[in-house]
Amino acid sequence: MRVNITVNGRPQQADDVWEGESLLYVLRERLGLPGSKNACEQGECGSCTVRLDGVPVCSCLVAAGQAEGREVVTVEGLADFAEERAGRGCAAGAPGACGTDPDTARRWQARPAPGSDAQLAPVQQAFIDAGAVQCGFCTPGLLVAADELLERTAEPSDADIREALSGNLCRCTGYEKILDAVRLAAARAAAPTAEQGA
Amino acid sequence: MAGVTRTPTGLTQGSTAPAGIGASTLRPDGTLKVTGEFAYASDMWHEDMLWGHTLRSTVAHAEIVTLDTSEALATPGVYAVLTYDDLPTEVKHYGLEVQDTPVLADGRVRHHGEPVALVAADHPETARRAAAKIKVEYAELPVVTDEASATAEGAPLVHDRRTDHHAAHVPHPNIVHRQPIVRGDADAAAGRADVVVTGDYVFGMQDQAFLGPESGLAVPAEDGGVDLYVATQWLHADLRQIAPVLGLPEEKVRMTLSGVGGAFGGREDLSMQIHGCLLALRTGKPVKIVYNRFESFFGHVHRHPARLHYEHGATKDGRLTHVRCRIVLDGGAYASSSPAVVGNAASLAVGPYVVDDVAIEALALYSNNPPCGAMRGFGAVQACFAYEAQMDKVAAELGMDPVEFRRINAMEQGTVMPTGQPVDSPAPVAELLRRVKAMPLPPEQQWVTTEGADIRALPGGLSNTTHGEDVVRGVGYAVGIKNVGFSEGFDDYSTARVRLEAVGGEPVVTVHTAMAEVGQGGVTVHAQIARTELGVQQVTIHPADTQVGSAGSTSASRQTYMTGGAVKNTCEAVREKVLQRGRERFGAYHPAWATAELLLEGGKVVTDGGEVLADLADVLGEEAVDLELEFRHRPTEPFDLRTGQGRGHVQYSFAAHRAVVEVDTALGLVKVVELACAQDVGKALNPLSVVGQIQGGTTQGLGVAVMEEILVDPATAKVRNPSFTDYLIPTILDTPTIPVDVLELADEAAPYGLRGIGEAPTLSSTPAVLAAIRDATGLELNRTPVRPEHLTGN
C-alpha cells in the first residue's frame, strides 16, 4: 500500500508498504529517519517515541496505515519544531502551558537539510550539557517525551518529570542526569539570560 | 564503501576551554546522539540489502531428527537458507575461551533459543515467515538444570568428549571450571570463633538489557572478503572467532564498530556476526540482521545465577576468624566466559575484609539453561550479595553495629588477599563506609505534602495502594571489591595510534583505536588525554575498526586504564618525536631546546619556565608524526588450581552504598527512597562521566535487588519471560536519588593514578538494598531479587 505522512513538516510518501509494518519501520527503513529507536518494538521502552498530531506515542505500536494523512514529529525534527514553537512565543519550559494543536503542527516546516551543525532544541542541548547521554539509544525517545512535558508544564517538579518519563527506559544513566537535563532545560527557559556558562 | 549509508563517522571536537584530563568535557558524540544522526548498528543501511533472520530452537535439549528447509527456500523473496550442513569450513564452533559453541546447531540443541538455521530475504517479515516454514523435528532429551541434576549418577553430559584445558581438572564433565582457594587453616581458626554464622543464598539470573538490540550489516567485498559493521565490545576478539568459520584470512574480514546501544558484558560473545557474514557471502548481497527484544533475550549470555553457601566466624570483639564458602554458578549450555567468572568469584569471595584463614570453592556448571557469561561485576556481584548478607548476620549475632563491624575488619593497603596477593594501592574501605554513612538521611515520611500524601513517593506509586499505612522504613549498608582489567596471567594489552599534524597552520591530533565505545565515554577521555599530553585543542577520534591493533575488551572496568593508558603512552612517544624534530630544526636558535624541560601547551613548544620556543605547527611543518604503540598493564599470574594462590589481579576497585527503603508490608511492595554511593576512583578523568557510571551501575544493582530476573522453568529449561513486559528493569519511577561521593586516591601503578570504575557500584548496590529491606521487615531474605511474595509470606 501507499502511505502519506507529513514528517517533520514535510509531506512524505512510502510505497509498497506491507500492511503489518509499523510507523517506526516506515520512518526508519523507508523514509531514511532512523533517529527513532527500536529497543523493544513492543511499546515498553519508549525509545521510538514520536509526536503523532502532537501526542507522544510509541511509533512501534502504530501501524503505518494509521498514520495516513497525519503529522509526525521525530527527534530529527525536534530542533525545528522547538524553534517554530518558540517563534509563537511558546518556548518549551516557558511560563504557562502552551501545547501544540494539530492545526499548528501542520503549519511549520523543517529546514531543508538539517545537518549536525543545526541549532539544537533547548532540551537537546540540556541533555548534552547535563551528561544525560551515555550510549544514547534511549535518548531520542526521551527527548521527544521531555520536550512534550516542558511544552505543557513549564516548571515541572521532580515527581512530574518522573511521571512524564516513566514510559522511557534507560539502562545506562540511572536517570539522575536525565532529571538534571530536564531541570536544566526548564531553568534555562525560565531565565534565558542565565543560559551561558552551564 | 559505495552504497553504504549511515556508516560510522569520525568524531571531531575542538575546544577553546581547558579540556584536558580532570575536566567534565562533553561527549564528542553528544550532538549526533541527540539529533538522531548517530549511526547505531541497527541503523546501518545499504542499497539492495537483504534481511537476515535466525531460527532458534523451541526446546532446551534435543537431537534434531529432521531439518527440512525446502518450503522456506521456495518462498518468494527468500535468497538463502543455511543450516549446520552449509557451514563452509571444518571450523564450525566458536567461543571466547573454549570453542564449544556451534555456529548453527550441530544436530543437537543444548538450550532454549539456540540458533538452528538462517534465512536471508528481501523484507524482514518475509525472512521471519520463511523461517517459520522450516520443519524441525526434535527428539527431546532429559535436561540438567542445577548442580544436583548436572552431577547426578548417569546425568546426560552437556558436552561429551571435552578436550578443553579445564576438562582434566574438573570433578565432573558437567563442571566447566572449578577454583578452590585455601589459605591459612580455616578449621583451626573456626575453633577461635565466639560466633559462627552460616547462610545459604540464591542469586537470580540477570539480563544486561542493553537497549540497542544485537545488530549488524555484513557487506560482501570484491576480493572475496567481507566488511562487517557491528555493535560489539571487542572487535579483535570477534575477528579471531569469525574468520576461521568463514574460511577467510583475518585481513579479509574488515570490521568497523557501529554505534553501540549499551553492552554491560552482553556483547562480549558473538551474536549475529558470523551469521550475517555467512548470509552475505552466500548471497553476494549485503545482509542486515537486527534482533527484536524477544530474540535479544536469547541472543546473548546472561549473568550467572548462583547458589552460595557461607560460614563466617568472629570473636566477641568483632574480628573475623575465618570464612568458608562454596559458590556454584550456573554457566548454562556453553562455556562463554564462565572460567574467568569462576576465578573472580573465588578470589573475591570474602570481600574487602581481612581474613587470614579461608577455604573457598567456586565452580561453574554446564547445564541446559541459557548460557551465562559476562555481565558488569563478573562473578564479584554474586559473592558480594552473599558476603555482605553474612556480615550483617554476624554483626547482629555479636550485637554490633553493621558498619562498625565492617570497619573493624576492613582491608587496607597492604592487606593480603585470600590468593596471597597483597593489595598494594589505596584500599579505603572503612573511609568509604564512613562517608556513605555520614551523608544526611532523606526525611522520614517523605511522601507527606501540605496536600496530603504524594502517592508517587510511596511504594506502589500511582497504583494508589497506600497513603502511608503499613509502610516501614529500613536502612542498609554494603561495600564491595572488584578487580580491574583481565586477570590470571592474560596478556591484556591495548593499542593506540596517534597522528599529530599541522592542518591550515593549526596542530591537530587524530586518535585511532579499536576501543568499543559502548556509551561509557571512552571517546571523551581519549580526546582529553590527547589534549593534556600534546597541548592541542583540536582532536579527532577515528572510527574504531580492525585496521589498527587490538584495544582489548570494553569490560572489566579496563578501558580508561588500558586504552586510555595506550593513548597516553603513544601521545608521550609522539611528543618526544616532535620535540626531537624541534631540536633538530630550531635547536641552533635557542639554547633552551637542549637544556630545558620542554612541554607542549596551547599549540606551542614551551619550557617548564613558560617561555615559548616555537609554534607546534612550525615544528611539524608538512610532515605528520604518526605512531601506533601497544600498552600493557603489569603482568599477572594464574591462580594455582589446587590452592588458588597467585598474583592474579592488576588493580582493585571499591564502592560502598547506603540504601534507604520503604516497604508496604501488607502488599510486599518496595520503594527505594535513596541509594547513596561513595567510591574511590583514583583520579576522575571526567567527573561528569564518572558520576554517570556510578549512578548507572548502582541502578543495575537496584534492578536485581527488587525486580530483574530471567525465569527459567526448571522442568523444561525454557525461558518464561523474554520481553520487557515480563522482565522488568528499573524505570525513572523505580530509581531513587543517587547521591555520589567521589574519592580520589591515586594508584601509583596506573595512568594518572586512575582506577577502573564501571563495575564496583553494581556490586554493593544490591546487598545494600537487601539489607535495608531486611532492616525494615525483619525478614531473612536470602535470595535476590526480592519479590512481593517473599515479603508477605504468601
Q: Which residue has the cell 611539524?
A: B620
Q: Would you tell me which residues 6-25 of chain A have a C-beta closer than 8 angstroms to some C-beta of chain B?
A: 18, 20-21
- φ, ψ of residue B777 to 5 degrees: the values are -110, -20
Q: Determine, for residues B34 and A124 on separate chains, whether the beta-carbon distance falls below 8 Å.
A: yes
- Region B516-532: mean pLDDT is 97
Cβ-based contacts of A127 with chain B (< 8 Å): 30, 34
Question: So what's the pLDDT on residue B285?
Answer: 98
Peptide bond just before B785 cis, omega within 30 deg: yes
Q: Determine, for residues B260 and A135 on separate chains, whether the beta-carbon distance falls below 8 Å.
A: yes
Averaged pLDDT of chain B: 96
Cβ-based contacts of B691 with chain A (< 8 Å): 131, 176-177
Tell me whether B729 touches chain A (CB under 8 Å).
yes
In angstroms, the separation between the Cα of residue A123 and the nearest Cα of chain B is 9
Q: What's the topology of domain B147-207+303-380?
A: Aldehyde Oxidoreductase; domain 4 (3.30.365)
Which CATH architecture is the domain B43-141+213-260+267-299 placed in?
A: Alpha-Beta Complex (3.90)
pLDDT of B554 above 80: yes
Determine contact, residues B380/B304, Cβ cutoff 8 Å: no
In angstroms, the separation between the Cα of residue A94 and the nearest Cα of chain B is 21
C-alpha cell at B197: 554464622
Q: Would you tell me which residues 427-446 of chain B have a C-beta closer than 8 angstroms to some C-beta of chain A?
A: none
Closest CB to B732: pick one of A28, A34, A175. A175
Q: Determine, for residues B723 and A166 on separate chains, whether the beta-carbon distance falls below 8 Å.
A: no
Q: Would you tell me which residues 59-118 of chain A have a C-beta closer than 8 angstroms to some C-beta of chain B?
A: 74-76, 78-79, 114, 116, 118
Number of A–B residue contacts, CB under 8 Å: 187
pLDDT of B70 above 90: yes
- Rounded to the nearest 10 degrees, the angle between the axes of helix B760-777 and helix B687-706 is 40
Question: So what's the pLDDT on residue B387?
Answer: 98
Q: How confident is the model at residue A122 (pLDDT cuts 50, 70, 90)?
A: very high
Determine contact, residues A55/A98, Cβ cutoff 8 Å: no
Which residue on chain A is closest to B212 by alpha carbon? Answer: A39
pLDDT of B198 above 50: yes
Return the CATH number of the domain spanning residue range B493-632.
3.30.365.10
- Region B503-529: mean pLDDT is 97
Determine contact, residues B249/B30, Cβ cutoff 8 Å: no
Q: Residue A138's closest CA among A116, A168, A108? A: A168
Q: Determine, for residues B732 and A161 on separate chains, whether the beta-carbon distance falls below 8 Å.
A: yes
Question: So what's the pLDDT on residue A119?
Answer: 86
Measure the CA angle with vertex B497, ends B495 and B501; round to 5°. 165
Tell me whether A170 touches chain B (CB under 8 Å).
yes
pLDDT of A92 above 90: no
Tell me whether A127 touches chain B (CB under 8 Å).
yes
Q: Residue B210's closest CA among B275, B271, B261, B135? A: B261
Diameter of chain A measured on Cα atoms: 51
> Do the domains at B147-207+303-380 and B493-632 have one common CATH topology?
yes
Q: Determine, for residues B34 and A128 on separate chains, whether the beta-carbon distance falls below 8 Å.
A: yes
Q: How confident is the model at residue A197 (pLDDT cuts 50, 70, 90)?
A: very low
Q: Name the segment(s) of chain A with CATH classification 3.10.20.30.
A: 3-74
- Region B623-636: mean pLDDT is 97
Closest CB to B37: pick one of A35, A129, A179. A35
C-alpha cell at A162: 518522573
Q: How confident is the model at residue B680 (pLDDT cuts 50, 70, 90)?
A: very high
- Rounded to the nearest 10 degrees, the angle between the axes of helix A176-190 and helix B687-706 is 130
Lowest mean pLDDT among A82-86, A102-106, B216-220, B424-428: A102-106
Averaged pLDDT of chain A: 88
Question: So what's the pLDDT on residue A104?
Answer: 56
- CATH class of residue range A3-74: alpha beta
| pLDDT digits 0-9 by tens, B240-286 | 999 999 999 999 999 999 999 999 999 999 999 999 999 999 999 99
Tell me which amino acid residue A74 is.
T
pLDDT of B535 above 70: yes
- Among A19, A111, A175, which would you mutate to test the B interface (most chain B Cβ atoms within 10 Å of its Cβ)? A175
Which residue on chain B is closest to A129 by alpha carbon? Answer: B26
Question: So what's the pLDDT on residue B1?
Answer: 41
Question: So what's the pLDDT on residue B793?
Answer: 79
Question: So what's the pLDDT on residue A198?
Answer: 40
Q: How confident is the model at residue A63 (pLDDT cuts 50, 70, 90)?
A: very high
Question: So what's the pLDDT on residue A193?
Answer: 59
pLDDT of A97 above 50: no
pLDDT of B309 above 80: yes
Which residue on chain A is closest to B42 by alpha carbon? Answer: A38
- Region B401-410: mean pLDDT is 98
Tell me whether A157 touches chain B (CB under 8 Å).
no
| pLDDT digits 0-9 by tens, B20-40 | 999 999 999 999 999 999 999
Q: Among the CATH numbers 3.30.565.10, 1.50.10.10, 1.10.287.70, 3.30.365.10, which is that of B427-482+650-792? A: 3.30.365.10
CA distance B738 to B693: 12
Question: So what's the pLDDT on residue A114?
Answer: 41
Tell me whether B24 touches chain A (CB under 8 Å).
yes
Q: How confident is the model at residue B297 (pLDDT cuts 50, 70, 90)?
A: very high
Cβ-based contacts of A41 with chain B (< 8 Å): 292-293
ipTM of the modeled complex? 0.96
- Region B424-448: mean pLDDT is 97
pLDDT of B499 above 70: yes
Tell me which amino acid residue A28 is.
R
Which residue on chain B is closest to A46 by alpha carbon? Answer: B211
pLDDT of A138 above 60: yes
Q: How confident is the model at residue A11 (pLDDT cuts 50, 70, 90)?
A: very high
pLDDT of A180 above 70: yes
In CATH terms, the superfamily for domain A76-195 is [2Fe-2S]-binding domain (1.10.150.120)
Lowest mean pLDDT among A148-162, A184-198, B95-109, B570-584: A184-198
Task: Give the CB-side neighbour count of residue B550, counting CA atoms within 13 A.
Answer: 16
Q: Residue B362's closest CA among B374, B379, B378, B375? A: B379
| pLDDT digits 0-9 by tens, B139-168 | 999 999 999 999 999 999 999 999 999 999
* Residue ranges per structural domain of chain B: 43-141+213-260+267-299, 147-207+303-380, 427-482+650-792, 493-632
Which residue on chain B is closest to A21 by alpha carbon? Answer: B125
CA B719 from chain center: how many Å? 22
Q: Name the segment(s) of chain A with CATH classification 1.10.150.120.
A: 76-195
Q: Determine, for residues A136 and B213 on separate chains, whether the beta-carbon distance falls below 8 Å.
A: no
Burial of B347 (0-12, 13-18, 19+ CB in 10 A): buried
CA distance B542 to B375: 28
Q: How confident is the model at residue B93 (pLDDT cuts 50, 70, 90)?
A: very high
3-state secondary structure B125-164: HHHHHHHHCCEEEEEECCCCCCHHHHCCCCCCCCCCCCCC
B353-375 b/e (C-beta count within 10 Å ≥ 16 → b): bbbbbbbbbbbbbbbbbbbbbbb
% residues pLDDT > 70 (chain A) = 82
Alpha helices (H) in B493-639, listed in sequence order: 522-534, 559-586, 592-595, 616-620
pLDDT of A191 above 90: no
In angstroms, the separation between the Cα of residue A128 and the nearest Cα of chain B is 6
Q: Would you tell me which residues 262-281 of chain B have a C-beta closer than 8 angstroms to some C-beta of chain A?
A: 262-264
Tell me which amino acid residue B629 is.
L
pLDDT of A116 above 50: no
% residues pLDDT > 90 (chain B) = 97
Closest CB to A136: pick one of B293, B519, B725. B519
Burial of B505 (0-12, 13-18, 19+ CB in 10 A): exposed
Tell me whether A173 touches chain B (CB under 8 Å).
yes
